[in-house]
Structures are given as structure tokens and as C-alpha cells.
Amino acid sequence: EALDDAGLGHERYSFSSTNELQTVVETMVGQVDAVYAPTDNTVAAAMSQVSATTNEAGIPTICGEVGMVQNGGLASVSINYEELGYRAGEMAVQILTEGADPATMPVETMGADECDLVYNQQTADEIGVDVSSLASDGGTDVSAEA
């Protein structure tokens, strides 16, 4: 909906296994200007393969989480898993020591300001994308952490 509202064309691609993923990615690179890879276990497990194909084609891959960026994606506004774990621990304490009922506890979300802006400078250099504005906005280069 956000892409439609912005007047940007988009296409969805699907696959059911890592065996199909490479074929789908190879098909995409001839038809798209950028790729969004959501937080998905199948994609995450094959992210090095995905990024090898997209990066070779000079197509930026925006990812759903930091590990995928470490494995060759370009950038992400990623859930901070440490903060998420801390919050889950706080909820567990409420359940175990205070008698809170999980069924009635509010669902918590993390806003973009609570997430981590990350980018992969090596990928940016490889595909010719200037990410200096991400660095100046407080982003973290995770290419050395891979």
C-alpha cells in the first residue's frame, strides 16, 4: 500500500524452498531496480546466495534484519534483538512473579526509532551505492561483523 501511495511499481515473488529461491532471484534481477527481502527464515538461510546474485547485477537488497545485511544485503531498519529479548524477559517476569495473564497482556511493538539502522559498506561499494547519509544518520556499518 505504501508503494502504491508513493506511485512506485512493485512485484511480489514467491518460493517455497531454498531450491526455488535461486531461480526466483535470477528472474527478479532482470525485472527490478531493487529487492526487499523480509525477515524470512528461508531467505535468511540463503542470504549469501541471494546477495551474490543481486550484488553482481548491481541491484540493492533492502533487508528485514541485521543478519541479512551482514550476509550481503545493503541496508535495514532492523529489530534490535537485544531490546526485544529484554522486553520478552520483562513480560516473563510479570507472568511468573506477578501472576499476569498472557492472554490479557497488551501486544508490544517496536517503532522505527527503537530499531537499528544498519548498512553494509562492502555491499554499497560493490554495487556503487552511496550510503554516506545512512552513516551520518547514525547508521552502523555491519560489513565487518559478518
Give residue 86's pLDDT band: very low, low, confident or very high (50, 70, 90): very high
Give residue 140's pLDDT band: very low, low, confident or very high (50, 70, 90): very high
The per-residue pLDDT for range 39-85, each reduced to its tens digit, is 888 899 999 999 999 999 999 999 999 999 999 999 999 988 888 89
pTM of the model: 0.83
146 pLDDT above the threshold of 60? no
In the chain, how many domains are there? 1
Tell me whether residue 134 is in a domain. yes
Tell me whether residue 89 is in a domain. no
Tell me whether residue 10 is in a domain. yes
Name the nearest CA neighbour of 27 among 42, 44, 14.
14
21 pLDDT above the threshold of 80? yes
> Hey, CA dihedral for 25, 44, 122, 139, is it positive or negative?
positive
Torsion of CA 81, 75, 48, 54, to 10 degrees: 150
Domain that holds residue 138: 2-79+115-145
Tell me whether residue 108 is in a domain. no
**Which residue bears the cell 520483562?**
90
Give residue 17's pLDDT band: very low, low, confident or very high (50, 70, 90): confident
CATH number at 139 reads: 3.40.50.2300
Tell me whether residue 97 is in a domain. no
Tell me whether residue 55 is in a domain. yes
Q: Could you give the C-alpha distances from 133 to 23, 96, 102, 119, 138, in angstroms and in order?
A: 33, 45, 42, 11, 9
**Which residue bears the cell 560493490?**
126
Tell me whether residue 100 is in a domain. no
Tell me whether residue 35 is in a domain. yes
Euclidean distance between CA atoms 133 and 135, whole angstroms: 5
